[in-house]
Amino acid sequence: MAIFQNHMRRACIALACGVALTWVGSVPAFAQGEASATPGQPAPETIGSIWQQHSNDPDVAWRDPTSQTRVLNLTSGFDSSSVFYFHQNIFTADGDLMLFSGRRGEDGGYYALSLRSGEIRQLTHQTGQHLVVLPRRRSAAFDRGDDVFLLNLDRGETRKIATVPHGRLAQAAGFGFTADESKLLFAYCDQLADEHAKLVAAKPVMDDPHLRRVDWVAAYEHMDRHNAIYSIDLDSGKVALVFQDTENNWLGHVQGSPTNPNLALFIHEGFVTVHIKNRLRLLDLTTGQVTMPRTGPLENDGITHEFWDRDGESVWYDISSAGALAHLDVRTNVETRYSYGGVAVAASSYGGVTVAAANRSDHRSIHYAIGPDAKWAVGDGFQHTNPWLCIYRLDQRNPQTQEVPVVRICNFSGTYENPKAEYIEPNPHLTPDFRWVVLTAHLKGTANDVYAVEIPEAATAGK
């Protein structure tokens, strides 16, 4: 599991970026201007019009040779660019803007992309450590050092909203926010990076870094430390302790419910290969009470990559040991599994390719995003075993076997099998109209760029 390593790599890069932020106007990378929707009418098509602008340039826009799915490099011309962690929102509520980080030469910062015209505006010349877009505020919250900032995505203006006690953000694991967008949420884990660095330095170089992680987690769990969840009021800047862990658990992935401003989820972080399996927790932000929704037989399966459903009343996660994407109703604690092992899909029916898995990892993905009404999900493949962006037909689940059809829509071998390119997890995000998935990849060449891959209608139609 590479989550911690990615967190620390991003942290080190971000902390090297400096302090002041300025707005520098727009940098048109594609078309000029912004299309607007007529009140009461559907919003203009996102991404598709940008793909049409570049459909004659095979280095920027092309169709996957196997599935014929449209693929578009949204950040062609950048030395590197990326979107944020898969459950960290990157879009405005109107579905017109997307935020990403990018670099051209020595000039790096945050950029706003118009999903309708393709216009890219550079908002800052520097970045921070953690970031999340507050969709209705049309702003992004991020931190650098001990300071937390709010970046207006329309005007490019940045203002400091809070200063957190020293070191709390350096050991944090990303921002969540409440449904009413009044507060940011984050978990702090004491001495996490320092202890990891000491243990790695004391060990000889090993072929399998997971061995070092096991040693590290075992030592870390016996330390006395301060682990807690904090909130930051976005208007007053007040920093408050929401939950104090008294059992030395490593906390992470705090996410506010998208519908209930008083509810959040977090996890007891760890590696499934050790012993932290039933790691999902719910937190009442008004009382600080923590509940464990997966109990009984469910505790036996290790889960990863937890995230809220849009209804705010259920949670999704991967159970790799069972080869399944799972849905948990947190009101009833009823879990439904969607197995991705051993399913064949007819290419003629779905616009994909025939898929026959030798084992469950052939269809596994690292991160997932759920389509409308949970009829389908998109997954970003799995390093070494599944070099495909996939659609999982949740609406065609076999109730006896729990299996669902899997449709391969984009070849990801460039991202997963290119030894000359830096590997960054793709982290898929569905555009607000559910027509495209946006992610970080190096599908051509070695540069990490932000790509959009079309969700084929044939792969999601109710057949």
pLDDT in tens, 397-417: 999 999 999 999 999 999 988
CA–CA distance, 109 with 121 (Å, rounded to integer)? 10
Token pair in block for residue 463: 């057949």
For residue range 28-64, list pLDDT tens digits in order. Answer: 333 323 333 333 344 456 899 999 999 999 999 999 9
Which DSSP helix (H) or strand (E) runs through 199?
A: helix 192-202
Q: Read off the pLDDT band of 9 (50, 70, 90).
A: very low
pLDDT score for 107: 94
Check whether 450 has a pLDDT greater than 80: yes
Mean pLDDT computed over 197-219: 58
pLDDT score for 220: 60
CA–CA distance, 160 with 232 (Å, rounded to integer)? 12
CA–CA distance, 309 with 328 (Å, rounded to integer)? 9
For residue range 128-183, list pLDDT tens digits in order. Answer: 989 999 999 999 999 999 999 999 999 999 999 999 998 888 877 789 999 999 99
pLDDT score for 40: 37
Residues making up the chain, counted from first to last: 463
Q: In what order do the strands lie in the sheet with 227-233?
A: 176-177, 183-189, 227-233, 239-245
Check whether 309 has a pLDDT greater than 80: yes
Closest listed residue to residue 107, CA positions, set 92, 95, 122, 128: 122
pLDDT score for 322: 87
Beta bridge partners of 290: 283
Quickly count helices (H) and strands (E) in the chain: 7, 29
The better pLDDT of the pair 290, 246 is held by 290
Check whether 16 has a pLDDT greater than 80: no
Token pair in block for residue 121: 């505006």
Beta bridge partners of 243: 229
The better pLDDT of the pair 189, 101 is held by 101
Beta strand segments in 92-226, E: 97-104, 107-114, 120-122, 131-134, 139-144, 147-152, 158-163, 176-177, 183-189
Buried b (16+ CB within 10 A) or exposed e, 224-255: ebebbbbbbebeeeebeebbebeeebbbbbbb
pLDDT score for 426: 95
pLDDT score for 337: 96
pLDDT score for 357: 53
Out of 54-63, 70-79, 222-231, pick the least confident: 222-231
Check whether 191 has a pLDDT greater than 90: no
SS3 (DSSP) at 39: coil
CA–CA distance, 175 with 255 (Å, rounded to integer)? 7
- In this structure, what DSSP letter does residue 158 have? E
Closest listed residue to residue 453, CA positions, set 29, 69, 66, 80: 69
Q: Domain locations in the chain?
A: 3-36+43-190+225-460
pLDDT score for 95: 93
pLDDT score for 270: 57
Pick the CATH number of 3-36+43-190+225-460 from 3.40.50.720, 2.130.10.10, 2.70.50.30, 3.30.420.40: 2.130.10.10
Closest listed residue to residue 227, CA positions, set 204, 254, 203: 254
* Residues sharing a CB contact under 8 Å with residue 124, sequence separation 6 or more, in sequence order: 21, 22, 23, 24, 109, 110, 151, 156, 158
Out of 119-133, 353-367, 447-461, pick the least confident: 353-367
Q: What angle do CA 201, 206, 209 make, to 5 degrees?
A: 85
Check whether 223 has a pLDDT greater than 70: no
Place of tokens 């902390």: 15
